[in-house]
Structure 1
Amino acid sequence: MGWSALWLLLLIVSMATSVSVGSAEVRFGDVWQVIAAHFLGRSGALDPATDAIIWQLRLPRVLLGALVGAALAGAGAVFQGLLKNPLADPFILGVSSGSALGAAIAVFTGWGVIWLGGWTVPVWAFLFGCLALLFVLQLSRLGGQLRTDTLILSGVVVQAFFGAMLTFVIAMASPVEIQRIQYWLMGSIALREWSEAIVIAPFLILGMITVWLMSRSLNLFALGERSAGHLGISVQRTRLTLLVVATLMTAAAVSVSGTIGFVGFIIPHIIRMLTGPDHRVLLPVSALAGAVFLVWADTLARTVLDPRELPIGVITALIGGPFFAWQLRRYTQGRQG
């Protein structure tokens, strides 16, 4: 069985298990029965309370967690491969902070609602995510060349700047708006509906198809931009396309879940250890593994202090912080060696 098939099977089992776990007892078999009933158009297969818990409350949340995890992990794999920096990540590079600021501005001002409707927040998140990435790349550039050794420091600077802007927006907002903005700071997929999953799904599907079709070019970037150019790769166009697509996936995830850190950092590292550096395998497997990781992180977040609930960003930070410190030490020792 291939790596993709194995992680897909694990994802299906994880999602079904997560739906059955919670304060209200739901049998594992009931989950599949409700899903089958809705897809076949047969209502009344179970009692209304169980049907509502599974179909209206838990399943949309679990599915959204899987989509967000896949988007963040896939984007992280692209950033790490393209920038040739194992510490690159949508959160660390400031893209998530920029996207969160854009989403907060959309909530605070309401600009664009008339024309964009339900797409207002994702569009603003994407624009500010791109702006954050542009700042990071410009700060990391010296003599016309992208300096990957200063990339992380540039990300920290940009993240601090957008964080300050986000604090300013919160200070200007009303109490109701502050509550709506706060979940982006903590990261949460609680009380989500099917509509949020529908918003992010096209970004993830089209984004992953695009980066996978460009996975051969991404592999050649490991040889260096000059070597990739000699092998027929349009370096500037390929880099721009991959960066924009990865930013788009990140922005879509942030627009519905907030700033959930370290998913795009941890997962590609672990999968690269298992499958190797070939992005034709690394990209889809990272996305599936990211989905599994966030499904279980969210399950832990809503059950560990039941009936209270932790923000999912707390769980990923508790796991990702020590992992990042370990990788940073390895990276520093490798460069000194």
Structure 2
Amino acid sequence: MTSDDEGPTKDEVISEYHHLMARRLILLLVCIVGIILFVGLFSLSAYEGISLSDTYHIIWDHICGNEYEKRSLFWWADRYIWNTAIPHALVAIIAGASLAVCGALMQSLMGNPLADPYSTGISSGACFGAVAAIVVGVSFSSVTGEMGIVTNAFIGALIPAMLIIFISERVRMTPATLILLGTAISYFFNSMITYVMVTTDADTLKSAYLWQVGSLDGMTWSSVPLMLAVTIVGSAFVMMATRKLNVMSLGENSAISLGIDVQKFRIICLALMAVMTAAIVSYTGIIGFVGLVAPHIVRLVIGSDNKFVVPISMAVGAFLLLFADYIAYQLSNIPVGVVMSLIGSPVFFILIVLQSRKSGVIY
């Protein structure tokens, strides 16, 4: 037997491990640096007279409690940055991170590379709730106005998830069946949305359509607490469940043989993902491709260990959405959902080709 048949040596294994850890660290650092850069660019882009370094100086001074002379250039810049730019960028970071976590969770849970946070029909349910509030004025709660739309969207997003969980508890369902059920639910809600929208006037139709394609315009500090709290709690749970997710990626039979209650674990994960996704889309609308593309990028670069895929996917998702939102801002009046789709579709195509060449399979 030759040395070639004996497999890799100990030194080769150690070297490959170090290279893998280096790739993980580099990808994470690139995303963090990119996020910091675009936060500064957001702060700079709509306020003339200050440099990029000035924006970071203003942000740091605000954090430290330092104040500027009233009505001076930096005083006005500080007000703009902290009342407009920072909450806008923060919502993009939270939304991107949360959708990426949900995407990684769904893909591991379902063993399906095409699974994303919207696979169970959550997006269609949220959209129906929002459109019902915008077009018809129907509210699922006593809340009205802008928060009424958010509340409607949140409740609407939970309806498909609760329906799938209800069915899953009574019928043993495979991942493929869950995806198909989610598709059927999506078609149902989409038909309801179309019916409601064709009965309204042009101005109301425009408002409903803009919500559908996803936008971060008008985000304030009031948009942050719920999204941030749900994202932190949900992401912490997913991180604690990464070992089980790794086993689930091997297939349902392997998971059962290793002592995992697949049905119960899947229901818990679906419920968690529903709440996380609902908390995001109820404020931002339907922003596609983040939860689909971010985990694929991470797996292509660093492998499929969810212990690393989940946290790094959060950084990649946050960077992708922040980057897309900055492009949307520069183009003026272009919703970030449109830009994200324009960026995400070719990136996803390239990832599929690269992954196919690398392993001979897509997933």
TM-score range, shorter chain: 0.7 to 0.9
Structure 2 gap ranges (5+): 1-21
Native 8 Å contact 1:87 1:152 kept in 2: no
> For the residues of structure 2 that align with 1:28 and 1:184, how far apart are their CA atoms?
32
Residues in 1 aligned to 2:262 and 2:274: alpha-carbon distance in whole angstroms: 18
What per-residue deviation string (whole Å, max 9, x for no partner) do you get for residues 107-147 of structure 1? 53244235x99976555434433433466789999x83415
C-alpha deviation, 1:316, in angstroms: 1.2
Is it true that 1:33 corresponds to 2:57 in the alignment?
A: yes
The DSSP-based 3-state class of the residue aligned with 1:232 is coil
1:128 equivalent in structure 2: 156
Instruction: Tell me if 1:72 matches 2:96.
Output: no
The letter for the 2-side match of 1:129 is: A
Residue in structure 1 matched with residue 12 of structure 2 by the alignment: none
* Cα distance in 2 for residues equivalent to 1:139 and 1:113: 29
**Aligned position for 1:113:** 142
Aligned partners of 1:224 and 1:123: how far apart in 2? 37
The 1:92/1:63 distance shift into structure 2, 3 A limit, reads: same
Q: Which one has more relative contact order, counting CA pairs under 8 Å at least 6 apart?
A: 1
Cα distance in 1 for partners of 2:348, 2:64 equals 45
Q: Which letter does structure 2 place at the counterpart of 1:63? A: L
Q: Of residues 156, 163, 170 in structure 1, which corresponds to 2:190?
A: 163
Q: Percent same amino acid among aligned pairs?
A: 32
**Which amino acid is 2:38 matched to?**
S
What is the match of residue 174 of structure 2? 146
What is the CA distance between 1:235 and its match in structure 2? Answer: 1.5
Match of 1:309 in 2: 333
Q: Deviations over 1:139-176 (max 9, x none)?
A: 999x834152x665554443332222223344566877
Question: Who is 1:272 aligned against?
Answer: 299
Aligned Cα root-mean-square deviation (Å):
3.4
Q: Give the aligned partner of residue 15 of structure 1.
A: 39
Q: Which runs of 5+ in 1 are unaligned?
A: none
Q: How many residues align?
A: 329
Structure 1 or 2, whichever has the larger Rg, is 2
**TM-score of the pair, normalised by structure 2:** 0.78
Change beyond 3 A, Cα 1:266–1:136: farther
* Matched residue SS, 1:189: coil
Structure 2 distance, partners of 1:171, 1:43, is: 52
Aligned to 1:56: 83
Match of 1:206 in 2: 233
Structure 2 residue aligned with 1:197: 224
- When normalised by structure 1's length, the TM-score is 0.83
